[in-house]
Chain A
Amino acid sequence: MTEPGDDRRTRRVPLRDVGTDPDYRFSLANERTFLAWIRTSLALLAGGIAVVQLAPDLGPRPLRLAVGVALIVISGVIAGAAHHRWAGAERAMRLGTTLPPNRLAVLLGYGLAIIALVVLIVMLVSGGAR
């Protein structure tokens, strides 16, 4: 069995071979949290597509494209990072160590704040582009 605290070595060991099986309720809660992040990522993806293709009155196309691409990129990063977070939490539970810090919420919070600010400026400057 791998000793807790040997972080670098345990990351290379397959998840099932690390530590002991945790309470199944914790594993399932971790799985549902992962799925909630995936749905957040899918909502951002839908928002990105809609901004570019379905909201021509929002502002000039290059700016809409920039906002849409930013949303889609954040969506992809969140989907990938969600798996990383799930694996990290599962590993910590198997080893009985502290859960790793959640950087996804920081990324989502600041990313959306910047995008909201850009959209606000675009709307104020273009006046709806009508």
Chain B
Amino acid sequence: MSEQPVTGQSGDPILDAGGQAERTRLSWNRTGLALAVNAALLVHVGGGSLAEHVPAMLMLLVALGCFLFAGRRYHTINAAVRSDRAVAGIAHVRTLALLSVVPAVIALVAVLG
């Protein structure tokens, strides 16, 4: 069951009570940073040809997607809480899990190759 919105002294609902949406946004941002660090590492170990930088580029794209998604997710959560809708983002969690397994596979191929 969803919680009732937290209200301030004036009786108006408080936006993002407890900083839930903000903490989730920062968590997505930290994950984006971790992805960017991995991309930088793959660029460092990659060779001279463009093909050898494909894993790094893929990782960088996922990192970029993570950063962009973080902002969008913040507003989605606030809107969902205001209108008493569910906040669980099933599709994006599944996508991120998949996109995290794929770079691991690519890194494995890059290391063994």
Contact = CB atoms under 8 A, between A and B. Distances in A.
B100 A79 contact: yes
B8 to A, nearest CB: 18
A38 interface: yes
A32 B24 contact: yes
A53 B55 CA distance: 15
A70 to B, nearest CB: 11
Interface residues of A, number: 43
Q: How large is the interface on B (under 10, 10 to 19, 20 to 34, 35 or more residues)?
A: 35 or more
A69 B23 CA distance: 33
B108 A69 contact: yes
Nearest to A64: B111
B5 to A, nearest CB: 10
Nearest to B92: A31
Nearest to B34: A42
A106 interface: no
B64 interface: no
- A-B residue pairs, 9 tightest by C-beta: A83-B97, A76-B104, A79-B100, A53-B45, A42-B34, A21-B86, A24-B87, A32-B27, A35-B27
Given A22-B1, A53-B44, A65-B112, 4 more contacts: A28-B20, A48-B107, A79-B100, A80-B101
